[in-house]
Amino acid sequence: MRIALAGAGAFGEKHLDGLKNIDGVEITSIISRRLEQAEAVAKKYGAKHFSEDLEDALARDDVDAVILCTPTQMHAAQAIAAMKAGKHVQVEIPLADSWADAQEVVRVQQETGKVCMVGHTRRFNPSHQYVHNKIKAGEFNIQQMDVQTYFFRRTNMNAKGEARSWTDHLLWHHAAHTVDLFAYQAGKIVAANAIEGPYHPDLGIAMDMSIQLKAESGAICTLSLSFNNDGPLGTFFRYIGDTGTYIARYDDLVDGRENAIDVSKVDVSMNGIELQDREFIAAIREGREPNSSVAKVLDCYRVLGELEVQLEAMKK
């Protein structure tokens, strides 16, 4: 399986590190907006080709599939271009930054028949898999999820402290993780509300947001998001259910009384990105729809689109 990766920044390298652990995978092309970065990453991971232009990779015969870790605003158009070029594609979260664009990606996937998967990593993290397996076995039903997504980001920097060429977004990026996870764990979302705090004068985005969700099962979710949090960073999940409480912090899982739960045997790795990439490669090889396919995560983007309409109406 010969892979091109576009977007050789902090998250791109996480994928490349995960792909190294999958048998029969070769990184053949690295694409970055900075040629010197593309060259350095290609050398580090043994790719024979590097370029500033995704079209160069899409035209190559030694590329079977593409992983897109590019700026959010490019995701939908690049995913469509990859499929139309005959390549399978995994696009990092979010699939798109509009409901219309998300729908168009699904239409092209159905038209081309290519595997198109979105990086909804929470479906693959062993901590959340553990809870999902309990739900599937009928041993646990969610009553409420309480989720905090917190960062301290006053400038436009990535996870490695490097300047970004694009602006991150609480709704279309960070909320997408939890909106999809809640639906995955509790069922279709039938009600959603959002409010946002003041906009940053330079970044032009809301720095704080609160979202409420309700699933058709009756379960509810409260999501708090902030770029202003000067404290523990990341996303922290509390599952409150009919038979217990679980708290997920990254790949660690504890019960409601902080007793550790061993999730090391849930899957073949503790690395959610690696597990996500393993699913992508396996779906291509087996000719099947992957977990977190564009079709399976599409409803998340319907909800985000509805929330955007609400937030825009509040500005008027």
Separation of alpha carbons 75 and 273, rounded Å: 18
Instruction: Fill in the amino acid letter for 113.
Output: G
Q: Which domain holds residue 171?
A: 125-266
Within-domain flag for 308: no
Percent of the chain residues topping a pLDDT of 70: 96
Q: What CATH number does residue 135 fall under?
A: 3.30.360.10
Q: Tell whether 260 and 285 lie within a shared domain.
A: no
In this prediction, residue 260 has a pLDDT band, given cuts at 50, 70 and 90, of very high
pLDDT at 31: 98
Give the C-alpha separation, 129 to 112, whole Å.
30
Residue 53 lies in a domain: yes
261 DSSP β-pair partners: 253
Give the residue carrying structure tokens 């979302």. 189
Q: What is the pLDDT of residues 57-77, one digit of tens each?
A: 999 999 999 999 999 999 999
Residues in CB range of 45: below 8 A, 6 or more apart:
16, 20, 27, 30
- Considering the chain, what is the average pLDDT of its residues? 95
Per-residue exposure over 39-71, b if at least 16 CB sit within 10 Å of its own CB, e if not: bebbeebebebbbeebeebbebeebbbbbbbbb
Residues 90 and 45 in one domain: yes
Whether residues 149 and 253 fall in one domain: yes
On whether both 116 and 130 belong to a single domain, the answer is no
Confidence of residue 166 (pLDDT cuts 50, 70, 90): low
Residue 115 within any structural domain of the chain:
yes
Residues 62 and 190 in one domain: no
In a domain, 16, yes or no: yes
pLDDT at 165: 60
- 286: CATH: 3.40.50.720
| Same domain (yes/no): 117, 188 | no
**Which has the closest alpha carbon to 209: 155, 250, 151?**
151
**292-315 residue pLDDT tens:** 999 999 999 999 999 999 999 998
Q: Tell me the C-alpha distance between 54 and 5, whole Å.
A: 9
pLDDT score at 269 = 96
Average pLDDT value for residue range 225-250: 95
User: Of all residues in the chain, what percent carry a pLDDT higher than 90?
Assistant: 90
| Tens digit of each residue's pLDDT (9 = 90 or more) over 95-143 | 999 999 999 999 999 999 999 999 999 999 999 999 999 999 999 999 9
70 and 159 co-located in one domain: no
Are 117 and 228 within one domain?
no
207 & 227 share domain: yes
Residue 306 lies in a domain: no
Residue 298 in domain: no
Are residues 142 and 74 part of one domain? no
Residue at 309 is within a domain = no
* Cα–Cα–Cα angle for 159, 10, 209, rounded to 5 degrees: 40
- Domain match, 189 and 145 both: yes
What is the distance of C-alpha 232 from the center of its chain? 21
* Residues pairing with 21 in the sheet: none
181 with 223, same domain: the answer is: yes
Establish if 279 belongs to a structural domain: yes
> Which of these three, 249, 266, 283, is where a domain ends?
266
Model confidence at 85, pLDDT cuts 50, 70, 90, reads: very high
SS (H, E, C) the chain: CEEEEECCCHHHHHHHHHHCCCCCCEEEEEECCCHHHHHHHHHHHCCCEEECCHHHHHCCCCCCEEEECCCHHHHHHHHHHHHHCCCEEEEECCCCCCHHHHHHHHHHHHHHCCCEEEECHHHCCHHHHHHHHHHHCCCCCEEEEEEEEECECCCCECCCCCECCCCCCHHHHHHHHHHHHHHHHHCCEEEEEEEECCECCCCCCECEEEEEEEECCCCEEEEEEECECCCCCEEEEEEEECCCEEEEECCEEEECCCCEECCCCCCCCCCHHHHHHHHHHHHHHHCCCCCCEHHHHHHHHHHHHHHHHHHHHHHC
Q: How confident is the model at residue 157 (pLDDT cuts 50, 70, 90)?
A: low
User: What does R_g of the chain's alpha carbons equal in angstroms?
Assistant: 19
| 3, pLDDT greater than 70 | yes
Reported confidence tier of residue 156, pLDDT bands at 50, 70, 90: low
Q: Report pLDDT for 154.
A: 75
The larger pLDDT score, comparing residue 52 to residue 250, is at 52
More reliable by pLDDT, 169 or 145: 145
pTM of the shown model: 0.94
**How many domains does the structure of the chain reveal?**
2
